[in-house]
A and B are shown apart, each in its own frame.
Chain A
Amino acid sequence: MTGHGEGADGLPRSVVVVGASHAAVQLADRLRLGGYTEPLTLIGDETHPPYHRPPLSKAWLKGESTPDQLVLRAAEHYSDNEIEMLLGTTVQRVERDGDGVALHLQRSDGFVETRTFDRLVLATGARARRSDIPGSDHPDVLVLRELDHAQRLADRVAAGPVVVIGGGFVGLEVAATLRGLDVAVTVVEAGRQLMGRAVGPGTAEFLLAAHREMGVDVILDAKPVEIALDGDRVRAVRLDDGREIAAATVLVGIGAEPRTELAEQLGLACDRGIVVDERCATSDGHILAIGDCTVQETGGAARVRLESVDNACTQADTAAATLLGREVPARPVPWFWSDQGSWKIQIAGRIDGHTEVVVRTDPSKPRRRVTLYFEDDQLLAAECVNAPADFVALRSALARGYRPSRELFADETVPLKKLLSAVRSA
């Protein structure tokens, strides 16, 4: 049977990926490496060739990386591998067309066309959530997600103090980078701890001290109510307790919203993201979705949204296997990283459902802290601050399904890599 318009070999007659960032590029590579030779098209609304987003808040903002160093792949890579790149192109509308899809496209130069494809993969990503308090529409109230956003932020570095609304990864990375450039920075966080969605309270407390030491003014439990203007300039961020924090520029870092518009046009199930199963199939079983735009069925009650380069790559590998009719690879343990100034945070696994916490510190290395999370005495997740080797050992153990008990970690003087060496030789 060759259902859904597949060729005689069971492979799609063409694949289109809407989106042209980490997940999309990884998927295209996986398909070509997997021997897929039919037409393959990536559509991205940004005009820049696909690039690394993580450095935008760090090396790029510091002026340490050039546009060439930011690209995910060299231009020849796409042509050599016959990956058609439609950049600066927006998908206005999508509809089903027989077994495939028809996409109504608009290029940045105004050119409009309709193209049809056999298999559709949505890799539409997420957009930065904007603030809705009065004054937020001022041009110096910025977000950071894309290269053009980063350019606007870089252009404002010399303008004066910056207030960051939101103490998550992006906001704290920018705050630390700006301190390195000697810019006055205040971070205003609505919650009682920093990075509330990403790390446990102990790690957050540890990093709060780190940021204060860097000279970042951090205000917790604070709700901004207005961006106060002075004529046509930003003057301050006003908090609900009446305080005004002086600002020339405001960066809003309050999370991201999955771009689900096309999925909704197609009637696909969405739940704060496009719902996908373990094959990356959406609710119609045929159209796939990968990366930041998705939420994943986990078998348990709660759906999970993972926003990371790691997840983008993992889901791309999965979608490639699905399209090629191969067995879907085992899902590795998710991991995340954030570099905040000289502080490196790495997380393996997810801490939800933990019942116990063990903290490992080393008096001779005061900037280092490893927090281990256990569920019913089995290792569940780990947060590592300035402990990259411990992180790699822990991630590798978790990825191999090794879930050591608390007891193994009792002796703090034995390095983790030694404790976990059993799993490597297993």
Chain B
Amino acid sequence: MPKVFYVQPDGTERVIDGVAGDSVMSTAVRNGVAGIVGQCGGSLSCATCHVYLAAEDQQHFDAPSEDEDDMLDCTASDREDSSRLSCQLILSEGVDLHVTIPDEQA
């Protein structure tokens, strides 16, 4: 079962056992992880699931699509090189992920 490590802006961490095929966003929302809103349910409509993806985990994902890339320029908290919309980060078997949640989403 892939694990996702969610680190809050204050440093507290929650680890959730995820399911391959689910996204980092839906795994968080379903388990009530604070700070990931995901209002649109993952249809790339709301940009309220911004996270910073740990450097060592970035190899597991393709670069953001054009829409995601554009939307990341407009998120409430500042974009960094590690910024992703977590609805686009899909869990795979055997791959644990580490994300940090920004201060603000909406």
Contact = CB atoms under 8 A, between A and B. Distances in A.
Q: Do A and B bind each other?
A: yes
A332 B67 contact: no
A209 interface: no
A332 B41 contact: no
Contact of B43 (A74, A337, A396, A399): A337
Contacts, number: 70
A392 B32 contact: no
A335 B106 CA distance: 11
Given A392-B47, A417-B73, A309 B32 contact: no
Given A52-B41, A54-B40, A77 B30 contact: yes
Interface stretch (A65-73, A119-127, A242-250, A276-284): A65-73
B89 to A, nearest CB: 15
A88 interface: no
B1 interface: no
B31 interface: yes
Contacts of A393: 73-74
Interface in A365-420: 388-389, 391-393, 396, 399, 417, 420
Contacts of A52: 41
B45 A344 contact: yes
With most chain A CB atoms within 10 A of its CB, the pick from B22, B29, B32, B37 is: B32
Interface string A16-33: 000000000000010001
Contact of A81 (B32, B37, B43, B76): B32
A253 B30 CA distance: 29
Interface residues of B, number: 25
A189 interface: no
Contacts of A58: 43
A260 interface: no
A346 B45 contact: yes
Given A69-B22, A73-B30, A339-B45, A389 B70 contact: yes
Interface residues of A, number: 34
B39 interface: yes
Contacts of B44: 344, 388
A5 interface: no
A222 to B, nearest CB: 30
A232 B75 CA distance: 54
A399 B104 CA distance: 13
A332 B67 CA distance: 24
B71 A389 contact: yes
A74 B31 contact: yes
Contact of A389 (B43, B67, B76): B67
A198 B30 CA distance: 30
B34 interface: yes
Given A73-B32, A388-B45, A399 B73 contact: no
Interface string B8-41: 0000000000010010001001111010010111
A17 to B, nearest CB: 16
A70 to B, nearest CB: 9
Contacts of A69: 22, 26
A55 interface: yes
A29 B22 contact: no
A392 B39 contact: no
B51 to A, nearest CB: 16
With most chain B CB atoms within 10 A of its CB, the pick from A58, A72, A389, A424 is: A389
Nearest to B69: A389
Interface in B78-106: 106
Interface in A304-345: 309-310, 313, 332, 335, 337, 339, 344
Interface of A: 29, 33, 52, 54-55, 58, 68-69, 71-74, 76-77, 81, 309-310, 313, 332, 335, 337, 339, 344, 346, 388-389, 391-393, 396, 399, 417, 420, 424
Sorted nearest first, the 8 A-B pairs with minimum C-beta distance are A389-B70, A392-B74, A337-B45, A393-B74, A392-B47, A52-B41, A74-B30, A389-B71
23 contacts: A54-B40, A54-B43, A55-B41, A71-B30, A73-B32, A76-B31, A81-B32, A313-B37, A332-B106, A339-B45, A344-B44, A388-B45, A388-B47, A388-B67, A389-B67, A389-B70, A389-B74, A391-B45, A392-B71, A392-B74, A399-B106, A417-B70, A424-B74
